[in-house]
Structure formats: C-alpha cells, structure tokens
Amino acid sequence: MKKGIALVHPLGTNWSPGREDVVRLANVMPPHGLMMLAAVLERHGFDCEIVDAFAHPKPLAELVTDILQLGPAAVGVSTTTSSFPGGYAVAEAVKAARPEVTVVFGGVHPTSIWRRILEEFPAVDAVVVGEGEETLLDLARNDWRPAAGIPGLAFRTPDGGIEFGGPRPHLRDLDSLPHPAYGKLRGYPKAYPLPIFNYPRSPATTFISSRGCPYSCSYCDRSVFGSSFRPHSPAYMVDHLAMLKSRYGIRHVNIYDDNFLMRRERLVEFAELLLRRGLRTTFNCIGRADGLDADLLRLMKRAGCWMINVGVESGDQATIAPHRTNSDLDVIREVVARIRTAGIRCKGLFMMGIPGETEESARKTIRFAVDNPFNDANLTKFTPFPGAPIYRTIREHGTFVEDWEKMNCMNFVFVPNGFALERLEEIYAEFYRRFFGRHAMLPNYASLLWESPESWARLLANLPTFLAAKKSLENPRVEAAP
C-alpha cells in the first residue's frame, strides 16, 4: 500500500460466549460493505486492502501486525454491535503502535451511536455515519485526516470536542457503483461457505442488490441505509452474476437483501433476463410474503430460485402486530404453501422474546412453524439494537442487559416482563426440538442428499462441532445477569 487504508472486518462473537463458534463453521459471509468501499476507493486511485479477521481469525497481536505491515495511513473498522468490542481492541492496538494512523469506524453500530463512540472510545478518531462510499472518498482526498465540512463524518477535534459534518444524502443510483472488490478477499470464494443445506451447489456466495426498507418495524435498525428502497437494476444484477460466474465460477447466490421481494416488476424483469442470458445460476432470496402470486413463483422457479426465506417473526398475531408493519399470518400461511407448490424450498425466519411475548405466544410460534410446510427454520433471540426504534423504550418492557458482545441474536439479553430467562431458554430449545425432530422432516433431509450433497459432506466432516451446537440448543446454559 502507498499510505492508503486497511479496511478491517473484525471477528466478533457470533455464538454464546465460552462456546465454540459454530456460526463461523456454518456460514462465513463476505464483508459486502468493505468490498464496495474498496472498489470505489480504487476506482478513484486510492490504495486499499481488506483484512478479514472473521474469515481468517488469528490472535490480536498477529492481526495488528498484519495490518501495520501494509503501511496504512488509515485503518477503517466496520462493526456490528457484537463485533464492536473486538474491533475496538484492534483500534487500541493500532493506536498504541502507530499513534499517527487515523482510525475510522463505520457500520450499523457506530452509525447509530456515533457521539457515544467518540466520547467513550478514545482510540476512534472518526466515525462514518451512514453510507460510507462518498464520505470515505472525501476523507481519502484529505490525506485521511478528518476535517470539518465532510458530510457524513463525525470526528474528535484536537481539543477533545466533537464535530459532525451533517448527514450525507443517500446514494440514489446504485448502478453507478462498481462491482464489489471480491478480489480483495483472501481465499474467495472457498473461504466463504454458505450455511449448510441452504444452497444446492458450489462455488456459492452472497449478493446484495438493494438498500433501504420502507417498513417501520420496531426491531429493525435502518440507521445506515434509511427507509427508502433503492435497488440495483435487473441489468446490473445479472451483469454482476455473470462476472461472478466467469471470474470465480459462482453457481449459486444467496441474495441477502432485507426484502428482495419488494417490487414485482423488478422480480419479473430479473427472472426473465436471467433466463435470456442463460447463466444457469441458482439463487435464494429473502423478503416479506406479500405479493408472491403463483405466476411469479413459477417464473422465479424457472429462472433458478432454489429457496425463499420468509420473515414470519411470531406465530401470534397480537404479539407481532405492535412491532411489524402490515403483518398478516393468514397471508404468510397461504404464500408458504404457494412457494412449496411452485417447487421452491421455503425457510421460515422467526424471533422469540420480543416485548409483549408470553409463554402462550411463544408456543403459538412453535405451532405455526411445525404446522406449515417450511423446509427449514431459523429462530433468533430478540435483541434491541441501539439503532432500532424499540431501543429507546426497551427497559419499559422487561429486563435488558446491554452487553454488546452478547448482542448477536444468539443470547437473550432482553427478557420480557412476566417471563423468566430460564423458561424463555427452555421454550427456545423446544422450538428446535419440535421443528427438526418431526417425522415430516425425514423426506426433506433425504431429498437434500441429491439437492445439496456438499452440505451433507460438510456436516459429516464437522459432525462433533455440530452435535455440540445441537446439544447447547437443547440444553441452554442460563447465566445470571450481572
């Protein structure tokens, strides 16, 4: 590097503290935000490298040595809430060794509480608030030194004050961006496996095609991308997929948008263009169930749609209604059946422990999961992130222990009023036992022998670790709150 920037993806904690991190074994997602930042910076002539400690974990001292050997003028760290402590440890070590290096943080967690970060964490020189491409580019043009007048940049002044250049408008034309810099990732794509049984063939990867969400769910943090839905065009998306296939041999993608299913006309154009181009790249996608009619699903199936992840959250209408915009469990039930009829796999995304949750509502969630024809399910533990609307009043609804390292949706840091943590953990474990222990799942597992053979190979190769994870789900360890 020629005094450019080292962009760091910290390891973070993605399981329960003290247990082996099976999440890394099951799914290592490329750091899309950093890849896009790197692509934009290099397009404008600035040197940039990505150091991915999540894909390639190592002791802190070795990680910092690797970073500093690049000779950066700046180190950028992108973090979630649970990865912030690990990212800050990197920042402290960098500053101790090279005080002159500018340390800038970005991502959803620093964006949502940027003033608190600058007040309480002295190794952080600046925070990119919101989308980072243009803000980081302005910082690079100023020789990586924070200065007044850069929209989207908050920083600590020499006298200890804090300045903020004001919010930067969101990028409107996402097609003006280059393709993410996948080539900056060591070992890509092999070092970035998708979740087992969530893809039919490899090499496979994840892919993001839009930013922003117009819905106002209480538990979602939209502090970075905002509430306006801004998609790439179908032409950009298919060109992107063609590049991934020709350069890296990618045969399947998980489209990781918050709601890929937002606009029907965009889905139709994307599917038809995929068919015309003949890429034969299969894909998964995530979204709300609204608007998925039979004709659209048949088209998506022909274009290569292998699985749709449907956000359900709760099987109790009264519990989810105050938190989620336009939630209708009857519609979800109909669409799940429609997806399966079209020959597409369906994964239900659920949440437990949301404010207002009761034992009865949690059991309704279990019943909804087992009574509908989902091929797979994921149940997260409700986590009130600092940028989510519910965070502001969360302590009115129950007990909240704000331990950032545990705020990864794998730990109950919040317990609703009227619930005991032990009971919440028991019902959480019951969800997995009942969903995956059903006789109806046997044909599903059998079909994956030919639909996703590599997943079976990965499962068998790492069987002791996955069995330990299964045991921890069925026998949760309950820790007393401090």
pLDDT exceeds cutoff 60 at 221: yes
Torsion of CA 21, 23, 25, 29, to 10 degrees: -130
pLDDT exceeds cutoff 80 at 466: no
* Amino acid letter for position 369: A
Q: Could you tell me if 353 and 424 are in contact, meaning their C-beta atoms sit under 8 angstroms apart?
A: yes
User: What is the architecture of the domain spanning 5-164?
Assistant: 3-Layer(aba) Sandwich (3.40)
% residues pLDDT > 70 (the chain): 93
Q: Could you tell me if 152 and 128 are in contact, meaning their C-beta atoms sit under 8 angstroms apart?
A: yes
pLDDT value of position 416: 97
Long-range contacts of 165-168 (CB under 8 A, 24+ apart): 167/129, 167/130, 168/129, 168/130, 168/131, 168/134, 168/135
Q: What is the DSSP letter of 452?
A: S
Sheet of strand 204-207, all strands in order from the earlier edge strand to the far edge: 204-207, 252-255, 282-287, 305-313, 345-352, 376-381
Q: Which of 216-225, 251-260, 304-313 has the lowest mean pLDDT?
A: 216-225
CA gap 62, 428 in Å, rounded: 38
* pLDDT confidence bin for 470, thresholds 50/70/90: low
Burial 374-383 (b: 16+ CB within 10 A, else e): bbbbebbbbb
| pTM to 2 decimal places | 0.93
* Amino acid letter for position 424: L
pLDDT exceeds cutoff 60 at 131: yes
CATH class of the domain defined by 194-474: alpha beta
* pLDDT confidence bin for 480, thresholds 50/70/90: very low
Rg (CA), the chain: 22
Q: Could you tell me if 344 and 306 are in contact, meaning their C-beta atoms sit under 8 angstroms apart?
A: yes
Q: Dump pLDDT digits (tens) for 134-155.
A: 999 999 999 999 999 999 999 9
Instruction: Indicate the domain borders of the chain.
Output: 5-164, 194-474
- DSSP code string of 380-406: EEP---TTSGGGGGGGGSEEE---GGG
Find the mean pLDDT for residues 116-126: 97
